[in-house]
Each structure stands twice: as C-alpha cells, then as structure tokens.
Amino acid sequence: MQIVPIPAFNDNYIWLMHDGRHALAVDPGDARPVQDFIAQHDLALVAILITHHHGDHVGGLPAFAGQCPVYGPAAEAIAGVTHPVREGDTVAIPELGVEFGVLDLPGHTLGHIAYVGPDLVFCGDTLFSAGCGRLFEGSPAQMRASLAKLAALPPHTRVYCTHEYTLANLAFAEAAEPDNPARDAWLAECRQRRERKQPTLPTTIERERAINPFLRVEHASVLEGLSGFVGHVPKDPTHAFAALREWKNNF
C-alpha cells in the first residue's frame, strides 16, 4: 500500500492511498491533479474522504460526482458527500482492505473530523507538524480537546495533514520554546527535505508530542516562552493555549 502526496494550490497536499489498482483520495480540493495521477497509474478511484468543508479541501468534488462513495463530516453540509460520518463510525474500504475510525475534531471548523487507520491518521487542518490549524469556527477549549485526542493516538501513528506549513511552524516553535533539541533536529531535517523539494510529511504523534508547542502548552518551557508574549505565565492551560494560538496568528 502506498500513500502519495499530490501537490495542489500553493501548499496543499491531497493524499492518495493506493495498492496499484484501487485508490482513495483525501480532501481533493482540486480534481485535476488527482485525475491526472489516477489516469497515469491506471487506478480506479473507490472512495474519497473529506475532513471539513473549506474550499481547498472540497473544491474538486463536483468532478467526481457519482464515481465513488464520498465520506465527510455529518455536522457540516457539504455538497457531494454521500456518506456523512461522525465519531464512533467506521469507514470500510473493502477494495483496499482498510478500515478507518472517525474522530470528531471541532476547532478549525465546528464539524471537522479525522480518519484513523492502521498506524496513520488523516487529520486535515487540525494538527500540523509543529503547529495546529487556525480557529475559524471553534473555541480554544474545543481545539485543545481535539488535539488531545490526536496526541493520545499510539506514538508511531503517522500524521497526514494537508498543508506544507512545517518550516513556518518550526520558526514559531523556536520562539515559543527556544530550548528544544528534538525540535532543532527536526528543523534541520525539514530544511534538507525542502531543499530537495521533498515533503516534510507525514510526521508522527511521537515527534509532535516532543516538538509541537500546541501539544506542549502545559510544559514549563513553553509557558516560559509564552510569558514573554502575554507578560505573565498563564495559570489556566486553555487560556495558555488561546494565547499561544493568538501569538501564532500574528507571528
């Protein structure tokens, strides 16, 4: 089984899982690169997974209408979704022999979901390497709880998020937590990958727990860095998370 990043727009990845015959696509915001890859490799598209309603994740759906099942968040009205799902549901793709559990992850949008498969998660715009999504609809408490769900996945879980934001996120992580050797090692590796025009993704839950300030907001080293932004050390973890996200918004 292969999982291939198909670049789209400026910094999106449309993830395509395939076995050489059948394929599923995750968040096809642009249909053309997916269609081109499928045609080039003689694949049959058997499913589409949607994490949330933003246009750069759903814009390609009209081109695939009627071709295959389209799974998406039950809490969001997305044209083209044929199988609305929510936390506790299972998505089975028999052609590929894989099953996904669904997690509700409100924060970036209120209905955002993720798909948890064998040793992997397609998490849309909730968790990024060294970062997290903006809070367009949800609250800091919701996003923090959603990130905690992802952080609780097994450490070796591969994280397939949908934007190449890693270097920018790591620059912020340096400011938020200046002394983090694991983060510095990941930054060096990511710079080399980008110089070779390679993706920095997927990352892993284990790595993100070690380097991502949004998963480390209760650590003293992050709170110390945050105090330079807010002028004091926040006592409440949710307030600390909200301040960290606001800092990143304007970084």
Catalytic residue (choose from 18, 53, 112, 163) = 163
Q: Is 239 annotated as a binding residue?
A: no
pLDDT tens, residue by residue, 130-184: 999 999 999 999 999 999 999 999 999 999 999 999 999 999 999 999 999 999 9
Contacting residues for 66 by C-beta, under 8 A, at least 6 apart: none
Per the structure, the complete domain to which residue 15 belongs is given by 2-250
Is 56 one of the catalytic residues? yes
52 catalytic? Reply is yes
Please count the other Cβ atoms lying within 10 Å of the Cβ belonging to residue 5: 17
Known catalytic residue at 41: no
CA distances (Å), origin 140, targets 75, 223, 225? 19, 16, 19
Task: Give the model confidence (pLDDT) of 78-124 as tens digits.
Answer: 999 999 999 999 999 999 999 999 999 999 999 999 999 999 999 99
| CATH code: domain of residue 201 | 3.60.15.10
Please confirm, yes or no, whether 54 is among the known catalytic residues: yes
* 3-36 pLDDT tens trace: 999 999 999 999 999 999 999 999 999 999 999 9
In the chain, how many domains are there? 1
Determine whether 83 is an active site residue: no
Please report the pLDDT score of residue 233 as a whole number. 79
Model pLDDT for residues 186-212, shown as the tens digit of each residue: 999 999 999 999 999 999 999 999 999
Catalytic residue among 52, 53, 104, 112: 52
Closest to 241 measured CA to CA, from 138, 115, 121, 129:
138
